Amino acid sequence: MKFAITCEDNEVFQHFGHTPEFAIFETDGKAILSESRLSSGGTGHGALAGLLETDGVELLICGGIGGGAINALENAGIQVIGGASGNVREVAEQFIAGTLMVRSDFHCNHHHGEHQCGSHGGSSGHSCGGKCHH
């Protein structure tokens, strides 16, 4: 199986549509066979599903992600697990072992153009891993 994790500085990146790169893992179901990085190339949101599909990714693990991106990924035949955080290698190992813990509030529910991560006054620790209602 080949899966991707949104990534920046070896940590799970918390907003799928703005991820700088993906950590790509291939596994036999018991161990990691290979690990590489795939640059997002500065593309965002819709184009990322095609990028992952072209690379043969079957599953995406991420922090926060919106409904439109989930639909695009699922239409490309890519399963989605949201709400992950931490070191990408550790997350990959936990996924393979069946011990990956994720948050249930990972959907990013804002509308395009109305919200930018980090734009909330008084909530500087916000990432789109939580619910963003605007």
- Domain definitions of the chain by residue range: 2-97
| Least trusted range by pLDDT, from 18-27, 42-51, 63-72, 101-110 | 101-110
Residue 81 has pLDDT above 90, yes or no: yes
Q: How confident is the model at residue 132 (pLDDT cuts 50, 70, 90)?
A: very low
Token pair, residue 44, equals 């965002």
Residue 61 has pLDDT above 80, yes or no: yes
Q: Given the structure tokens 């936990």, which residue do they identify?
A: 94
**pLDDT of the residue at 117:** 34
Residue 125 has pLDDT above 80, yes or no: no
Task: Determine how many CB atoms are found less than 10 A away from the CB of residue 122.
Answer: 5
What is the CATH number assigned to the segment(s) 2-97? 3.30.420.130
What is this structure's pTM?
0.79
Mean pLDDT of the chain: 82
Residue 83 has pLDDT above 90, yes or no: yes
Residue 3 has pLDDT above 90, yes or no: yes
- Residue among 41, 40, 31, 30 at smallest CA distance from 60: 40
pLDDT digits (tens, 9 = 90+) for 10-24: 999 999 999 999 999
